[in-house]
Amino acid sequence: MTPTPDKHPYWETSRHADRKPFLDARAAILRAVRGWFESRGFTEVEPNLVVASPGAEAHIDAVAADGGFLHTSPEFAMKRLLAAGERKIFYLGKCWRKGETGPLHAPEFTMIEWYRADAPYEEVQRDCIELLRLACNVTGVDALRWRDGACDPFAEPQTISVATAFSDIAGIRGVIGGDREQLIATSGVTARADDTWSDIFSRALVEKVEPFLGAAAPTLLTEYPIREAALARRCPHDGRVAERFELYACGVELANGFGELTDPVEQRARLIEAMDEKEKRYGQRWPIDEDFLAALAHMPAASGVALGFDRLVMLATGARHINDVLWTPQE
């Protein structure tokens, strides 16, 4: 399929005709994904889109709406439903993240998010791989493609810990236990005076590690430093790292998942830490969602993951910009 680099509005006939193959593929993948979840006994849920507390991420901004915010992810609501007794649920719909624009980002985008109660996080990792394969089967391609890269979703996925990825790909050792100064020294990343350890970690990940992930087969980057995993439980074998993973193909992050943290005390501490960071960096903090913390005490052990549907469509169709796969892009 040919991407559409021109500046005509999306409703202009010839531009729509150029985008039409991507959009048809999107609709077909959407149907297939819903079918995939339903055939595996998942229930589709429709959480409220307007929420009082839109998430737990220090560096994500939310769109204000009706005295609250549009959700940046349905995570808090879906965990409440797990607490209520749901076992396998999925959400396939819109999320909002203010100011995120670019070839792979749109402020309004579509997320697939799902949870499995009493399942290890390796199980939702396998789900992710199956969805990559499903999307490629729908579009009839043998590889996910982004820019210069091609990734075979049918190949055995590669699982790499963050520590190993940093050392083997970027030559950065000691990323898990080290402090800010050590990370600056070992990563070679240029740091501003007010950059935190997390800022430097993120920059090193994006600049020096991510481009090499998912080059041949999908890569599951696992075992994140605990301070980079606000909603994930600690790994049993090493309390410095958490059961968080991200899925990559062609250097593109496609999904972010956790073995979910269900300890409300630790969760409260991590949310406060994240909001302290948000306030320090952006002069803003979101309210702690006390109802979510109350529900967490009743939530079963679970694993969950959010996968960017638009990106999945992009890589399964070879689109070069997210606006090629959005029905009504905000341009």
Residues that bind another protein (CB under 8 A): 148-151, 155, 158, 160, 164-165, 168-172, 188, 208, 211-212, 215-217, 251
**Alpha carbon distance 290, 276 (integer Å):** 17
For the bound state, the minimum distance from the C-beta of residue 179 to another protein, rounded and expressed in Å, comes to 20
C-beta closer to another protein: residue 108 or 207: 207
**Alpha carbon distance 198, 196 (integer Å):** 5
> Which residue is associated with the tokens 């349905």?
74
C-beta closer to another protein: residue 188 or 287: 188
DSSP state string for 75-137: HHHHHHHHHHT--EEEEEEEEE-TT--BTTB-SEEEEEEEEEET--HHHHHHHHHHHHHHHHH
Q: Which two tokens stand for residue 59?
A: 């560096």
For the bound state, the minimum distance from the C-beta of residue 104 to another protein, rounded and expressed in Å, comes to 18
Q: Which two tokens stand for residue 303?
A: 């694993």
Q: Which two tokens stand for residue 139?
A: 């579009």
Cβ–Cβ under 8 Å, residues 54 and 76: no
Which amino acid, residue 224? Y
**Alpha carbon distance 329, 139 (integer Å):** 22
Cβ–Cβ under 8 Å, residues 271 and 288: yes
For the bound state, the minimum distance from the C-beta of residue 29 to another protein, rounded and expressed in Å, comes to 23
C-beta closer to another protein: residue 131 or 162: 162
How many C-beta atoms lie closer than 10 Å to residue 34's C-beta? 15
For the bound state, the minimum distance from the C-beta of residue 291 to another protein, rounded and expressed in Å, comes to 42
C-beta closer to another protein: residue 218 or 225: 218
C-beta closer to another protein: residue 160 or 255: 160
C-beta closer to another protein: residue 101 or 167: 167
**Alpha carbon distance 254, 292 (integer Å):** 26
For the bound state, the minimum distance from the C-beta of residue 144 to another protein, rounded and expressed in Å, comes to 11
C-beta closer to another protein: residue 56 or 247: 247
For the bound state, the minimum distance from the C-beta of residue 205 to another protein, rounded and expressed in Å, comes to 13
C-beta closer to another protein: residue 149 or 178: 149
Torsion angle in degrees (nearest 10) through CA of 15, 19, 20, 23: -140
For the bound state, the minimum distance from the C-beta of residue 171 to another protein, rounded and expressed in Å, comes to 4
For the bound state, the minimum distance from the C-beta of residue 159 to another protein, rounded and expressed in Å, comes to 10
